[in-house]
Amino acid sequence: MFLKTVSQWFIVCILMVWMLNAAVYANNTVPPKIDFTEKERAYIEKTTSIKMCVDPDWVPFESINSQGRHEGIAADLIQLVAERVGLKIELYQVKTWEESLAASKGKLCQIMSFLNQTPARDQWLIFTDPIFFDPNIIITREEHPFIGDLKGSQNESVALPRGTMVEERIRRDYPNVKVILTNTESEAVALVSERKANMTIRSLIIAAYAIKKEGLFNLKISGQIPEYTNQLRIGIIKDEKILRDILDKGVKTITPQEREAISNKNVSINIQQGVDYSLVWKGFVGGSLVLLVVFYWNRKLSALNKKLEQISITDNLTGLFNRVKINSTFQIEIEKSKRSEKIFNIILMDVDHFKKVNDTYGHQVGDTILSEVANILRIYTRKNDVVGRWGGEEFIIICTEDSLEKTLELAEKLRRLLQGHKFPVTKSQTASFGVATYKKGDQAKDIVARADAALYLAKNNGRNCVECQ
């Protein structure tokens, strides 16, 4: 207990610095202006408050505290959205997540604060754009081997909180894995720590929070499931489409920096609870041996944090950035362009006839081809380019400081390099490229749609070429 408390004191010191930096940024942010339609303005003016259902025990994302108040990352983000659109949010009191779902289905509340969109929830809810992104990772004990694909796991169990998106999808996608249901996130992590379950699949933030708070250093990250990344949204009952449109406009104003500031603030504050400073002082007097042990734990925690950060933005197969990082970069570059009127460009690239590679040689050879392509992109792009795997055999490059002419030159250079590269097994492989440039008023989906149209044109023109839209 003593060692755990001392190491937590060091964690608090580090996280306090993060929190102060985040607070400085947040206090200097000017709220953006939102253009509402006449119907939306009328709705806002006549609405006194909006009833909201939440998960009462999902720390640090959200919870209902002993005073009956909503707190956590979701609470702060929802409040920020509410302030920007001019609506008042009223909490609907529940004791469990199941109660919250039932209240939402019964239309006792108009919105749900923070949840993934799933086919089951589409039955009664409509959703805003994601308000927060957070990857799901596989947590095991230290001695467990790396997990590349859950489909290869046999006679293993996974502890999961009931009623979640992950439970719904694991049962559908991986029937070979035994599901052990728990009531809370912390129970799932504890079962793994106590060898009562082989693994849990949890949010990156939840995992980091639990490991730091409980000192569960016998755990490690053993893999991730990129397609399970949490894209947390506000859910609105289907009768309230105009409310969804209003909240969606508020969600779109939140910057990546604001999300990070709110995330750091809530994780930092929660970890500080229960630190006994008198015990910490006695520990320092205790001698150098204790300090050495403390430094050991801090180094282990530091390594874990770096691994958590890296895995959250990295594609498991290629080592390039994943869609979480690419989506974040889009938002940052669009905000820059709004302020400075500088453009940026993107290259969308698709490996030609990749399905034929998989069908002829198998998926392992296909994975090798994708890794080789990724390595070429990694080596021959510039330091300011953000390179990622967009999905399947598609790759994306965000050229942050380039003219359209230079971006087209880069795309052509990469096309020639791939055409001339000697690939294993298949020997030769080509790719098609679509290039698009940012236009004023674009959202990420707009510029991607133009690049996709250009890529489609390249395929229609015989593949292995570069087109621009």
Domain boundaries, the chain: 30-130+231-254, 136-228, 323-468
Pick the CATH number of 323-468 from 3.40.50.80, 3.20.20.410, 3.30.70.270, 3.30.70.2740: 3.30.70.270
pLDDT at res. 80:
95
Residues with Cβ < 8 Å from 431, sequence gap 6 or more? 349, 350, 351, 352, 373, 414, 415, 418, 464
pLDDT at res. 17:
43
pLDDT at res. 430:
96
What's the pTM value of the predicted model, to 2 decimals?
A: 0.53
DSSP 8-state assignment for residue 55: -
Secondary structure class of 366 (helix, strand, coil): helix
Q: Which two tokens stand for residue 125?
A: 């809810």
Work out the end-to-end distance of the chain between its first and last CA atoms, rounded to an integer number of angstroms.
62
pLDDT at res. 299:
62
30-130+231-254 against 136-228: fold identical? yes
Report the residue count for the chain.
Answer: 469
- Class assignment of domain 30-130+231-254? alpha beta
Question: How many angstroms separate the CA atoms of 241 and 238, rounded?
Answer: 6
- Which segments of 287-439 are extended strands (E)? 345-351, 385-391, 394-399, 431-437
Question: What are the residues facing 436 on neighbouring strands?
Answer: 346
Question: How many angstroms separate the CA atoms of 112 and 127, rounded?
Answer: 9
Question: How many angstroms separate the CA atoms of 404 and 410, rounded?
Answer: 10
Q: Which parts of the chain have pLDDT scores under 70?
A: 1-31, 210-217, 268-309
pLDDT at res. 425:
92
Task: State the amino acid at position 453 in one-letter form.
Answer: A
Question: How many angstroms separate the CA atoms of 43 and 454, rounded?
Answer: 41
Pick the CATH number of 136-228 from 1.10.10.10, 1.10.645.10, 3.40.190.10, 3.40.50.410: 3.40.190.10
Q: Which two tokens stand for residue 97?
A: 């997540």
